[in-house]
Amino acid sequence: MLALYFAPGSSSMAPHIALHELGLAFDARPISFARKQNREPAYLAINPEGKVPTLLIDGRVLTEVAAILFYLARRNPAAGLLPAGDIEAEAQVVSWMSFIAATVHPARRQGEAHARATYGLAERRLGERRWAVGDRMSIADIHLFRLYWRFRNAVRPAPGEFPRLEAHHDRMMARPAVRHTCAVEAALGYELP
Ligand SMILES: N[C@@H](CCC(=O)N[C@@H](CS)C(=O)NCC(=O)O)C(=O)O
């Protein structure tokens, strides 16, 4: 039994998308930042950092977007969200997700100019590829999409500023699971800073 604690539009959107991509049954547990539910003792007992996402796997706690995406992809190998039988490609997915979590995610906190420069790095890293690694969507693309989705909605980059990330965003938005996740989260309401 899986349960996902998530706050609409936040980092937890990435595992939320993955759960829908994989068609897995899960208990959706929305958290309201506005009502500070992530700081309530009951939630802190599960995730002492008070952050989302948290995935419960038969009651066991798994935190961090990258780890949850990895778990879901490895648990459902037929879906191909992680390259199979290619250690180097698998390592490239880990490399992308480490870059996204450690460099891209915190970039906006350091100001808009720094964030634009960091998304410039992601733009160059993506290059002319359709997907972050190999020739099909992986968990790295889901992770990248959620960060850029948030950045473009908050900062509204000029048309043509990040053409490859925009094309990647549109490619992701064409997927029913992504559109469905966005619709579910929008209906709950965004409470992001
Ligand atoms: N390194 C964590 C970051 C998670 C994170 O920063 N979550 C934010 C939302 S995007 C959060 O829960 N913030 C609430 C808080 O810090 O009070 C991950 O990748 O899962």
CATH number at residue 48: 3.40.30.10
Could you tell me if the CB of 50 is within 6 A of ligand 1?
yes
Q: Which amino acid is at 92?
A: Q
Same structural domain, 13 and 67? yes
Same structural domain, 90 and 170? yes
For atom 20 of ligand 1, which residue has the closest CA?
64
* Residue from 51, 97, 98 whose mutation best tests the ligand 1 pocket (most atoms within 8 A of CB): 51
Could you tell me if the CB of 181 is within 6 A of ligand 1?
no
How do residues 156-193 score in pLDDT, each as one tens digit?
999 999 999 999 999 999 999 999 999 999 999 999 87
- Distance, CA 1 to ligand 1 centroid (Å)? 23
Q: What is the pLDDT at residue 192?
A: 84
How do residues 28-64 score in pLDDT, each as one tens digit?
999 999 999 999 999 999 999 999 999 999 999 999 9
Distance separating alpha carbons of residues 132 and 51, to the nearest angstrom: 26
Same structural domain, 68 and 53? yes
Q: By residue range, what is the domain housing residue 169? A: 81-175
Q: Which amino acid is at 134?
A: G
Beta bridge partners of 28: 4
Distance separating alpha carbons of residues 155 and 152, to the nearest angstrom: 5
Could you tell me if the CB of 52 is within 6 A of ligand 1?
yes
Same structural domain, 182 and 170? no
By CB neighbour count within 10 A (0-12 exposed, 13-18 middle, 19+ buried), where does 113 fall?
exposed
Could you tell me if the CB of 14 is within 6 A of ligand 1?
no
Question: Is residue 38 domain-resident?
Answer: yes
Question: Is residue 55 domain-resident?
Answer: yes
For atom 6 of ligand 1, which residue has the closest CA?
51
Write out the H or E segment, with its range, that includes residue 4. strand 2-6
Write out the H or E segment, with its range, that includes residue 107. none
- Distance, CA 26 to ligand 1 centroid (Å)? 21
How many folded domains does the chain comprise? 2
Decide if 47 contacts 61 (C-beta within 8 A).
yes
Distance separating alpha carbons of residues 94 and 51, to the nearest angstrom: 21
Ligand 1 atom with minimal separation from the 49 CA = 16
Question: Is residue 193 domain-resident?
Answer: no
How do residues 107-156 score in pLDDT, each as one tens digit?
999 999 999 999 999 999 999 999 999 999 999 999 999 999 999 999 99
Q: What percent of the chain is predicted at pLDDT more than 90?
A: 98
The helix/strand/coil state of 6 is: strand
- Distance, CA 54 to ligand 1 centroid (Å)? 10
Q: Whose structure tokens read 């998308």?
A: 17
- DSSP calls for 32-96: -TTTTGGGSHHHHHH-TT--S-EEEETTEEEESHHHHHHHHHHH-GGG-SS-SS-HHHHHHHHHH
Q: What is the CATH number of the domain that holds 130?
A: 1.20.1050.10
User: What is the model's pTM?
Assistant: 0.98
Question: Is residue 116 domain-resident?
Answer: yes
What's the DSSP call for residue 7? -
* Residue from 35, 44, 52 whose mutation best tests the ligand 1 pocket (most atoms within 8 A of CB): 52
Decide if 149 contacts 141 (C-beta within 8 A).
no
Same structural domain, 97 and 29? no
Q: First CA to last CA across the chain, in angstroms?
A: 32
